[in-house]
Amino acid sequence: MKRLFKLWRGDSTGGDFKEYETDVTEGMVVLDAIHKIQAEQANDLAVRWNCKAGKCGSCSVEINGVPKLACMTRMNEFQEDQTITVNPMKTFPVIRDLVTDVSWNYEQNKKIKPLKPRPRDADGEYRMMQEDVDRVQEFRKCIECYLCQDTCHVLRDQQQKDKFVGPRFMIRLASLEMHPLDTEDRIPEIRDEYGSGMCNITKCCTVVCPEHIQITDNGIIPLKERVVDRYYDPVLWLWRKITGNKN
Amino acid sequence: MEQSAVLRKPSFAETLRGDTWWIEPLLVLMGLSAFIIYATWAAFQANHYFAISYLSPFYSPVIYTDTSVVGSAPVWHALLGTWPEWWPSFLPASPAFLILVFPGLFRFTCYYYRGAYYKAFAATPPACAVSGIPQKNYQGETFLLIFQNLHRYALYAAIVYLFILAADSIAAYFYQGQLGIGVGSVVLSMNPVLLGAYTLGCHSFRHLIGGRKDCFSCAGAGPLKNGVYQKVSWLNRNHKLFAWMSLFWVGISDAYVRLVSMGIITDLNTWGL
């Protein structure tokens, strides 16, 4: 069956959508169709991909305006007469066609203090109970596709990249802060440098996450609550003054 | 080359989404607006909030009561007795004015409602991947909205209200000391159930009862804490559902008590009233 695609073509200086028509067969995903167009009609089309299994996070694009992995978006999700529009992630600078420069994310990652584990047990081992690691294991599912960063309006529309590290790195911070072995204190940076207060909880990051991580409910809001414990709770503030307990 | 929307800063409500993304924020806008308008109207009525042994949740707990008003609570139901003389004459003598601020604040600062009304009322953003109103210096919840961080204090008040509404629902099974049941008893009993499911699934409550800990198995925590945390987490996953159900039901409860008090509908009950 013939399907009409509108793929964004261009680079950092400008560009626009170009129409392509191609045959789509049963079981194809959007990335398959893009590859077919690339092979038959647009050999110079740039598209980033790797595993084709939803695990490498490389083929993040926007399909009909929604941030998605091209390899996990099946063609039968669309109406038969529907035009499929594919553009690069809007939050990041375009390199060419559907490929963006996501290196800003790597810079955010470098800012985060790494795990600082407590001393080992007497026998030289670290021990953690499953119930204690269940929570942080959810965050370890992240494949760093940056779809959550792309859809976050603080980065995308308000362009506040200097004030907020974005949902991906709030999740990384949550995985460290809630780690049962960790002893590092990142709460001051979570409020001031990483910008937990910039998030207004619209949950768009959770909606687009291909790993179905509950980014807002299990990561960002719990971090906001820890910031409240430290800075905004007058009773806890008074309690710390009386007891001398810093945390 | 032309600067397409992919590269430039988008204008308001610009999107390539072709689905009906506007339905959810529109429903939130209509739902919350309808509730706010009805609750404000009901609070200003200052009458018909008590019938048989049913007390409207908008007026509970009754701090003062003016028994000369039709459909008002009896004096024994008021915590501080009859209506005070110092009350300004330009305001109706409505017990609702004294108590609605607390559940109102709980919902206003609730993490679910915040996300929903930022989209529906402030368009920041109107929907996911739909551009919001352009702002020169967006500050999120760091400046004017920093008070949202006091949500846990509104939670403490909301927990007290759960006990008060539970007491009201028990009282709704007694008329002049006689045990019985009416449609109103069932209507009012739903309130503490739905509000309990909403309040105890609150993100702040989840944090306070265990989320703030990194280790459930450590000394001082124990299996009970993890068990409670998991149950609260289930409620939290359904927070949106219970937020709307409980909101809808307090409105229904007030309307039911009001219509019975006004004699527009007759309550089916075992007291023969």
A8 touches chain B (CB under 8 A): yes
Return d(Cα A161, Cα B32) in angstroms, integer.
Answer: 32
How does residue B215 score in pLDDT terms, banded at 50, 70 and 90?
confident
Q: Where are the alpha helices (DSSP H) in chain B?
A: 23-45, 96-99, 101-108, 111-120, 151-171, 183-199, 203-206, 222-237, 239-261
* pLDDT over 70 (residue B124): yes
Task: Kindly state whether residue B10 falls inside one of the protein's structural domains.
Answer: no
pTM tops 0.90:
yes
pLDDT, average across residues A215-220: 98
The one-letter code for the residue type at A153 is H
Query: What's the gap in Å between the CA of B105 and the closest CA on chain A?
Result: 16
Residue of B nearest to A62 (CA): B16
Q: How far is CA B10 from CA A10, A151, B6, B60, in A?
A: 18, 13, 8, 48
Which residues numbered 38-97 in A keep a CB inside 8 Å of some CB on B?
Answer: 62, 64-67, 82, 85, 87-88, 90, 94
B144 touches chain A (CB under 8 A): no
User: Domain A2-100 falls in which CATH fold?
Assistant: Ubiquitin-like (UB roll) (3.10.20)
* pLDDT value, residue A101: 97
Number of structural domains found in chain B: 1
Q: Which among B178, B184, B174 has a CA at the least distance from the CA of B268? A: B184
ipTM score here?
A: 0.92
How does residue B1 score in pLDDT terms, banded at 50, 70 and 90?
very low
pLDDT, average across residues A6-21: 96
Which residues from chain A sit within 8 angstroms of residue B130, using beta carbons?
Answer: 65
Q: Which among A32, A122, A229 has a CA at the least distance from the CA of B212? A: A229
Cβ within 8 Å, pair A156-B131: yes
Which residues numbered 172-231 in A keep a CB inside 8 Å of some CB on B?
Answer: 177-180, 182, 195, 197-204, 207-208, 214, 216-217, 221-222, 224-229, 231
pLDDT, average across residues B96-112: 96
Q: Which among B135, B111, B112 has a CA at the least distance from the CA of B123? A: B135
Which residues from chain A sit within 8 angstroms of residue B150, using beta carbons?
Answer: 232
Cβ within 8 Å, pair B10-A90: yes
Of B7, B118, B226, the CB nearest to A200: B118
* pLDDT value, residue A232: 92
Cβ within 8 Å, pair B215-A180: yes
Task: Kindly state whether residue B17 falls inside one of the protein's structural domains.
Answer: no
Q: How far is CA B95 from CA B8, B57, B180, in A?
A: 54, 11, 27
Query: What's the gap in Å between the CA of A177 and the closest CA on chain B?
Result: 8
Tens-place pLDDT, residues A54-104: 999 999 999 999 999 999 999 999 999 999 999 999 999 999 999 999 999
Q: What is the mean pLDDT of chain B?
A: 93
pLDDT, average across residues A31-50: 97
Task: Kindly state whether residue B36 falls inside one of the protein's structural domains.
Answer: yes
Which residues from chain B sit within 8 angstroms of residue A94, using beta carbons?
Answer: 6-7
Q: Enumerate residues 6+ apart whose C-beta is below 8 A from A25.
A: A1
Instruction: Measure CA A137 to chain center.
Output: 16
Cβ within 8 Å, pair A179-B214: yes
Ordered by start, the domain boundaries in chain A are 2-100, 103-243
Cβ within 8 Å, pair B6-A200: no
Say which CATH class A103-243 falls into.
Answer: mainly alpha
According to DSSP, the residues that pair with A3 across neighbouring strands are A22
Task: Kindly state whether residue B163 falls inside one of the protein's structural domains.
Answer: yes
Which of A154, A202, A212, A230 should we substitute to test contact with B (largest number of B Cβ atoms within 10 Å)? Answer: A202
B212 touches chain A (CB under 8 A): yes
Q: Give the tokens for residue A66.
A: 């929604």
Return d(Cα A130, Cα A135) in angstroms, integer.
Answer: 9
Query: What's the gap in Å between the CA of B213 and the closest CA on chain A?
Result: 8
Which residues from chain A sit within 8 angstroms of residue B123, using beta carbons?
Answer: none
B69-98 core/surface letters (b: 16 or more CB in 10 A; e: else): bebbbeeebbeeeebeeeeeeeeebbbbbb
Q: Give the tokens for residue B93.
A: 């003598």
Return d(Cα B35, Cα B254) in angstroms, integer.
Answer: 12
The one-letter code for the residue type at B29 is L
Residue of A nearest to B145 (CA): A197
Asked if B87 and B71 touch (Cβ cutoff 8 Å), the reply is no
According to DSSP, the residues that pair with A9 across neighbouring strands are A16
Of B118, B131, B236, the CB nearest to A217: B236
Task: Kindly state whether residue B14 falls inside one of the protein's structural domains.
Answer: no
The pair phi, psi for residue A147, each rounded to 5°, is -65, -35
